[in-house]
Amino acid sequence: MENKETGTPPLIPSREGTPLCLPSLCGWGNVFQVFKSFFNETYFERHATFMDEKLMLLLWSCTVSMFPLGGLLGSLIVGLLVDSCGFWGSSKICAKPFCVCGLPALISAVPKPGISYSTLPMYLGELAPKNLRGTLGTMTEVFVIVGVFLAQIFSLQAILGNPAGWPVLLALTGVPALLQLLSLPFFPESPRYSLIQKGDEATARQALRRLRGNADIEAEVEDMRAEARAERAEGHLSVLHLCAMRPLRWQLLSITVLMAGQQLSGINAINYYADTIYTSAGVEAADSQYVTVGAGVVNVVMTVISAVLVERLGRRLLLLAGYGICSSACLVLTAVILFQNRVPGLSYLGIICVFAYIAGHSIGPSPVPSVVRTEIFLQSSRRAAFMVDGAVHWFTNFIVGFLFPSIQ
C-alpha cells in the first residue's frame, strides 16, 4: 500500500513488537524508517487516512526521546543503588533485565542506561591508578561509541534494518548484557568502596593486589584511609547538601556545564536522526545509511585517539580543541545549507562538515566529562555529584531528542 504523504510504500513490521524500546539502540536510523511506516500504517487501519506530517513528527520525537527519559529515571536512583549494592551489585542488576524476556524485564530495563552511565565511570575511576585514570575513564565512552558503530552496521537494510530483521536487532542487546553478567564474578569490588564506604580494609587490600600485581599498595591504602577519615568528619553528602555546600559549587557548576554542553551541542541529534540529516544535506536516501556507517568509523577512531592523548595533553586542551572544531564545522555547515541549492556541489562539503563535527566532539566533549566528574569529587560527595550530572546529561539528551525534529 502506498503512503500518500510521502509517495513511498510503507514497510510494515510485525505488530507484536514494542516500538518504544527502539530508541535504546541509538544510531539505528534505518529501523526508525521502518517504524515510521509502521506508525503510518497502523494509523491508516484505524482512521482510513494517513498521519499528517506534524502528528508523525510528534510521535517520532516521542519514540526517540523515551531512551534518554529512561536514562533520567536511572540517574536519579544510582546513588542509592551504589551505596546499598556496590558497583559489582549495581552492574549485575543492570545486566539482568536484558538477559530475560517479558514485560517485567522491559520495565526494569528502562532506567538501566542511566544507572550504567554513572556506575561504570565511577567504578573505572576508582579502580585505576592515578597515571592511567584519564585513559581508563574514557573507556566507557569508547565502548559506547563502539556499540553505536556496531548498531549502525547491523541496522543496514541488507542486514537487519528491515521489517523482517528489526526484532532480531532489538534482541541483540541481550548478548553484551549476558556477557557482562557472566564475567562480573571475575571482577573485584572497588577498593575505595570497600574501605571507605564499608570499612573493610581486608577486602580492599585483596582487590588492590589483584589489580596492581606486585606493585606496592601501601601508599594507596593510606590515601584511602585519609579520605575515609575526612568523610567520617564531613559526613555522607546528599544531593541537597552537595548543592548547598559553597566549597563544592565550582566543581558542581563545572560538571553541570560540561554535561549540558555535551548534549546541547547536538551530537545525539546526529545519532538519532542521522539519515534525515544526511538526506537534507543532499545525500540520496538509499546511500545515507552508508554515510552513517562512515561517520561511525570517524567517531570510533577519534574517541580512541582521545583516550590515548588525554593523559599527555590534558583534559582542558582536548575540550577546547574539540569545541573549537565543532564550532568551526557548524559555521561552515550553516553556510553550506544556505547556499547548496545554488551550488549543488556544496552538499559534499556539508557531509565533510558533519564528519568534522563528529571528529571534534569525539576528541573532547564526548569522552572528557566522564573523566573529570570522577576526579574532582571526593568519595563522600561523588555519588551525589554523579546523580546531578547524570540527571543533567539525560535531561538535556531528552530535550535534544524531543525538540530537534521540530527545530529542524
Q: What does pLDDT average to in each consecutive run of 10 residues of the chain (408 residues)?
A: 40 34 43 72 84 80 81 82 73 58 43 76 82 84 88 84 79 81 83 84 89 84 83 73 85 91 84 70 73 89 92 91 93 84 79 90 90 81 85 89 75
Answer yes or no: is 16 within a domain.
Answer: no
At residue 363, the pLDDT reads 93
Q: Give yes or no: residues 172 and 302 share one domain.
A: yes
The CA distance from 250 to 257, in Å, is: 10
Q: Give yes or no: residues 243 and 228 share one domain.
A: no
Are 130 and 306 in contact by the 8 Å Cβ rule? The answer is no
Domain final residue, candidates 235, 250, 268: 235
What DSSP line would sit under 70-117, residue for residue?
HHHHHHHHHHHHHHHHHHHHHHHHHHGGGGS-SHHHHHHHTTHHHHHH
Q: Give yes or no: residues 202 and 284 share one domain.
A: no
Neighbours of 242 (CB within 10 A): 21
Q: Give yes or no: residues 216 and 285 share one domain.
A: no
Number of domains observed in the structure of the chain = 2
Nearest one of 161, 211, 165 to 191, comparing CA atoms? 211
The CA distance from 92 to 177, in Å, is: 9
The residue with cell 553478567 is: 181
Give this prediction's pTM: 0.77
At residue 6, the pLDDT reads 41
* Rounded-to-5 percentages of helix, strand, coil across the chain: 80, 0, 20
Q: Which CATH number is 167's domain given?
A: 1.20.1250.20
The CA distance from 345 to 314, in Å, is: 39
Annotate 162-182 with b (16+ C-beta within 10 A) or e (fewer). bbebbeebbeebbeebeebbe
The residue with cell 575511576 is: 125
The CA distance from 34 to 230, in Å, is: 55
The CA distance from 172 to 178, in Å, is: 10
Annotate 28-54 with b (16+ C-beta within 10 A) or e (fewer). bbbbbbbbbbbbbbebbeeeeebbeee
What DSSP line would sit under 171-190, residue for residue?
HTTHHHHHHHHHHGGGSPPP
Q: Give yes or no: residues 241 and 357 share one domain.
A: yes
According to DSSP, residue 405 is labeled H
The CA distance from 192 to 190, in Å, is: 5
Q: Give yes or no: residues 83 and 215 share one domain.
A: no
Answer yes or no: is 117 within a domain.
Answer: yes
Nearest one of 75, 60, 5 to 272, comparing CA atoms? 60
User: In the structure grid, which three cell numbers stand for residue 67, read together?
Assistant: 531512551
Q: Give yes or no: residues 219 and 253 share one domain.
A: no
- Domain containing 128 equals 29-94+108-187+236-399
Q: Give yes or no: residues 195 and 316 share one domain.
A: no
Answer yes or no: is 39 within a domain.
Answer: yes
The CA distance from 11 to 157, in Å, is: 12
